[in-house]
């Protein structure tokens, strides 16, 4: 019955595919959660049942991501975009500057918000190279008394990803990990703050995860609105106001699914294999397909490429759509093609795209 559910070849960039098992479990529990006669959506966020869901999601994330005890995990709203604002509001104090590594459109948006609050400068930029690469670590410039250094760990639009992270010493390193959080093991202790909107790897849109080192909370600006202070949410276990309860429930279920896959090592291995089948087709196409990112900076999450003949590219996208592939158009700001192979996209879906690409090339060259 359930196994025959028809699933699209979903390469959407976000919101994106969720694990089928998670959707089915949510469906089973949707109307009557844990024999309460209510949906989880209909419950008080102060109820015992919801509280368990909330706290289990928090502790599962801490365990899975090996988050050290001197970090707080917060479930907020407003997406990564609100974090672009909250980070400088809380931490870009007068007389300090923040350094931003520019690796794509999301870095630009984050940078723009910081400049509204104080002094923000570019620590490095690969814009001149059309954001095809991540800068090398020694190209990144910052000062020892900077408020923080900000990076975008995976560039969803350009399809690049950091493979190693800069050592920033006493300066907090802040990362927008919206599109690769939980896709591989990460040494959280290198970061002052990690933030991510949930809708790529963690669950449905509506929840934003923030992982923040506790000592930073003490240093945060206190003269900003209550709801925008990290301390407000930390002091209230992310229950200061009504949280997105259904989204947090879904996040908890996604985390259980990640555990069942074998944890982050297994997830990473799977992501490697998924990206490889598609990159291999690009690399073996004799230039019929061309990747946007340089080899060293390629993202395992967002595979960006062109069909080198522009007319054929239109046809490729049209035929792919016809064949049931969803979400392959590149971001409206850059065009081309993009396959987003987030955690929940099965290997078989990537293999199907690789086969389709080979077939398309054989037909047209």
Ligand X SMILES: *Cc1c(COP(=O)(O)O)cnc(C)c1O
**Catalytic machinery residues:** 106, 176, 200
Instruction: Please list, residue by residue across 115-149, b when 16 or more beta carbons sit within 10 angstroms of its beta carbon and e when fewer do.
Output: eebbbbeebbbbeeeebbbbbeeeebebeeebbbb
Cα–Cα dist 275/79, whole Å: 26
Cα–Cα dist 186/322, whole Å: 38
**Any idea what the Cα angle at residue 14 is, between residues 212 and 276, rounded to 5°?**
95
Query: How many CB atoms neighbour CB 256 within 10 A?
Result: 18
Q: Which stretch binds ligand X (CB under 6 A): 75-83, 227-235, 281-289, 291-299?
A: 75-83
Binding residues for pyridoxal 5'-phosphate: 80-81, 106, 156, 176, 199, 241-242
Residue selected from 168, 179, 270, 340 as contacting ligand X according to rule CB under 6 A: 179
- E-strand ranges in the chain read 9-10, 71-76, 97-102, 119-125, 148-152, 154-155, 160-161, 173-176, 193-197, 208-213, 289-291, 302-307, 325-326, 337-340
Nearer to ligand X, 197 or 291 (CB): 197
Minimum CB separation from ligand X for residue 197, in Å?
Answer: 3
Based on the shown chain and the rule CB under 6 A, indicate whether residue 160 belongs to the binding site for ligand X. no
Nearer to ligand X, 38 or 165 (CB): 165
- How many residues bind ligand X (CB under 6 A)? The answer is 12
Minimum CB separation from ligand X for residue 269, in Å?
Answer: 23
Name which of residues 190 to 209 contact ligand X (CB under 6 A).
Answer: 197, 200
Minimum CB separation from ligand X for residue 52, in Å?
Answer: 26
**Closest by alpha carbon to 118, among 148, 157, 77?**
148
Residue selected from 103, 156, 160, 183 as contacting ligand X according to rule CB under 6 A: 156
Residue selected from 106, 111, 288, 360 as contacting ligand X according to rule CB under 6 A: 106
Minimum CB separation from ligand X for residue 174, in Å?
Answer: 12
Task: Name the site residues for ligand X (rule: CB under 6 A).
Answer: 14, 79-81, 106, 152, 156, 176, 178-179, 197, 200
């Amino acid at each position: 019955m359930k196994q025959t559910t028809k699933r699209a070849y979903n390469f959407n960039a976000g919101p994106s595919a969720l694990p089928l098992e998670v959707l089915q479990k949510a469906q089973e529990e949707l109307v009557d959660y844990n024999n309460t006669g209510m949906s989880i959506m209909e419950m008080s966020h102060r109820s015992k049942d919801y509280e368990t869901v909330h706290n289990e999601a928090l502790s599962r994330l801490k365990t899975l991501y090996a988050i050290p005890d001197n970090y707080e995990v917060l479930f907020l709203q407003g997406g990564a975009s609100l974090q672009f604002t909250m980070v400088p509001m809380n931490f870009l104090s007068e007389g300090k500057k923040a350094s931003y590594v520019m690796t794509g459109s999301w870095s630009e948006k984050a940078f723009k918000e910081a400049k509204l609050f104080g002094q923000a400068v570019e620590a490095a930029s690969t814009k001149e190279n059309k954001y095809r690469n991540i800068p090398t670590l020694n190209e990144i410039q910052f000062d020892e008394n900077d408020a923080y250094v900000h990076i975008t760990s995976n560039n969803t639009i350009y399809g690049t990803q950091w493979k190693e992270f800069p050592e920033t010493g006493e300066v907090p390193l802040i990362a927008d990990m919206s599109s690769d959080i939980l896709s591989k093991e990460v040494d959280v202790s290198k970061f002052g703050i990690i933030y991510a909107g949930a809708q790529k790897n963690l669950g449905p849109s509506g929840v934003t995860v923030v992982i923040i080192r506790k000592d930073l909370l003490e240093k945060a600006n206190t003269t900003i609105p209550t709801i925008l202070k990290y301390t407000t949410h930390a002091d209230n276990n992310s229950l200061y106001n009504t949280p997105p309860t259904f989204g947090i429930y879904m996040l908890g279920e996604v985390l259980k699914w990640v555990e069942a896959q074998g944890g982050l090592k297994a997830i990473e291995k799977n992501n490697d294999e998924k990206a490889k089948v598609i990159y291999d087709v690009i690399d073996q196409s004799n230039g019929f397909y061309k990747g946007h990112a340089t080899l060293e900076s390629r993202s395992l999450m967002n595979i960006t490429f062109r069909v080198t003949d522009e007319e054929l590219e239109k046809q490729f996208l049209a035929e792919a759509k016809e064949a049931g592939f969803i979400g392959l158009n590149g971001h409206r700001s850059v065009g081309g093609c993009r396959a987003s192979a987030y955690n929940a996209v099965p290997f078989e879906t990537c293999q199907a795209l690789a086969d389709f690409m080979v077939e398309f090339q054989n037909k047209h060259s």
